[in-house]
Structure 1
Amino acid sequence: MVFYFESIVVEPPALLYMGKDKFENEELIRWGWPEDIWFHVDDHSSAHVYLRLKENQTMDDISEKLLQDCCQLVKANSIKGNKINNLDIIYTPWSNLLKTGDMVAGQVGFKDKSLVRKCKISSRENFIINRLNKTKRIQESIDFAQSRSDRDALERRKNKEISSEIKEKEKMAERQKVALEQERSYVNLMNPEKMVSNTNSSNLEDDFM
C-alpha cells in the first residue's frame, strides 16, 4: 500500500508518496525512480517520503515552499519527530541511497554523504498537513518492479526518438553543407575571370593557320 499526495504550491502540482510500513519502504528503496528525492527525519524513525521531480529537474530546483511540504509530511509521519521542535529532515536523491545485506528492513545508508542535505523544521504546520491530506489517495497491490520497468521502457523510447531526431538533423545539415559547396563551386565555375571567350578562341585558331 502506498499513500500519494499532491503539493499545489508549485505548478503543475508535485507528487509526494510514502509506503505504509518498513516492508513497503524496502520495495520503494529497491524500485525507486531516478527522478525521486528521498526524505526522512534525521536520527529518528519516520516514514520514507519521496518527491518525484519533473523531467530535467534536479534537487536544486526544489522550491522552498515545496521543500517545506515534503519536510512537514515527514515530520507528521514520525512518532517521535512529530512531537519535537527544531527537527532536522534529511533528503537526498534516491540514486544516492545505499542498501547492504546487513541492514534491517527500512534502514539505508548513503553512497555519497555530500549529496545529503538538511532542512530544519521549527514546528509542525497543521495547515500544510491538512492541505496535503485533502489530496491523499491510497493505492493497493502495486507491482513496484513493473512500474519501474514501464518507466524505463518509456525512457528508452524517448531517448531513441531524441537520437533519431539528432541523426536526422545531422543528415540535413550535411545535405545543406553539400548543397552549399556545390553552389559555391558553380559560382566559381561561372566566374568571368576564369572563362575563355569565343573571340579569344577564334584568334588562337587563326594564329595557328
Structure 2
Amino acid sequence: MVFFFKARPSVGDIMIYMGLDKYENEDLIKYGLPEDVWFHVDKMSSAHVYCRLAKHQSIESMSEELLEDCAQLVKANSIQGNKVNNVDVVYTPWANLKKTPGMDVGQVGFHSGKAVKTVRVEKRLNEVVNRLNKTRVERKVDLKAEREAYDAAERAVRKQQAKEKMKRELEAKAQNERDKELQSYKGLMDKSTKMVSNKDIDLKGKSVREIEEDFM
C-alpha cells in the first residue's frame, strides 16, 4: 500500500508519496522514477517520503513551500523526530540512492554525498501536516509495472526523436546536394557568357578569315 498526498496548490500539481512500511520502501527504492526526490529524517528512523517533480524541474528548483510540505510530512512520520524540535531532514534525487546486498530491509545509502541536501525543521507545523493528511489517498500500486511503462514511454520518445533527427539530416543532405548542383550550373552559365563566338568577332571589326590570317 502506498500513501499519496497533494502538496499545496501554489506549488503546482505535485504528488508526494510514501510506503506503508520498510518492505514497501524496498520497492520504492527499486522502482522510483528519475523525477523523484527522496526525503528522510537525518540519523533517525522515519518514513521514506518521495516528491515527484515535473520533467522540467530539478531538486535545485524546489521552492521553500514545497520543501516545507515534504519535510513536515517526514517529521510527522518519524516516531522520534515527531517528538523533538530542530530536526534535520535530508533529501536527494532518487537516482542518488544506493542499495547494496548487505543492507537491511529499508536501509539505503548514497552514490554521492555531495548530492545530498539538508533542511532544518524547527518544529512541527500542525496546519501543514493536517492539510496534507486531508489529501491522503491509499492505493495499491504495481510499482514494477509502472516503472516498466515509464521506461517504455521514454524509449518511444527517444526513438521518435532519433527518427526526426535522421529525417532532418537527410533533408539537410538533400538540400546541400541541390545547392551544389545549382552552384555547378551557375558556374557553367558564367563560363558560357565569357565565350567569344564568330559573330562576336565580326562585331569587333574583323572577320574570321582575318583573325586566321593574323594568326598565321
Is the TM-score greater than 0.5? yes
1:179 equivalent in alignment to 2:189: no
Counterpart for residue 9 of structure 1: 10
Q: CA deviation at 1:191?
A: 2.6
CA, structure 1 residues 59+204, in 2 after alignment: closer, same or farther (shift >3 Å)? farther
Asked if structure 2 preserves the Cα contact closer than 8 Å seen for 1:75 and 1:81, the reply is yes
- Taking the TM superposition and a 5 Å limit, the aligned residue runs for 1:80-95 are 80-95=80-95
For the residues of structure 2 that align with 1:35 and 1:135, how far apart are their CA atoms? 21
The CA RMSD over aligned residues, in Å, is 2.1
TM-score normalized by structure 1?
Answer: 0.89
> Secondary structure of 2:55's match?
coil
CA, structure 1 residues 201+4, in 2 after alignment: closer, same or farther (shift >3 Å)? farther
1:89-141 deviation line (CA, Å, top 9, x unaligned): 0011111111122221111111111111100011112222222223221112x
Q: CA deviation at 1:9?
A: 2.8
CA, structure 1 residues 72+182, in 2 after alignment: closer, same or farther (shift >3 Å)? same
Q: CA deviation at 1:148?
A: 0.8
1:14-55 deviation line (CA, Å, top 9, x unaligned): 111100111100111111112211100001111100111211
Q: CA deviation at 1:208?
A: 4.5
Question: Which runs of 5 or more structure 2 residues have no equivalent in the other structure?
Answer: none
Counterpart for residue 114 of structure 1: 114
Counterpart for residue 152 of structure 1: 151
> Secondary structure of 1:191's match?
helix
Q: CA deviation at 1:204?
A: 8.3
Asked if structure 2 preserves the Cα contact closer than 8 Å seen for 1:9 and 1:66, the reply is no
Question: Which runs of 5 or more structure 1 residues have no equivalent in the other structure?
Answer: none
The percent of aligned pairs where both chains have the same amino acid is 44
For the residues of structure 1 that align with 2:146 and 2:207, how far apart are their CA atoms? 84
For the residues of structure 2 that align with 1:104 and 1:152, how far apart are their CA atoms? 28
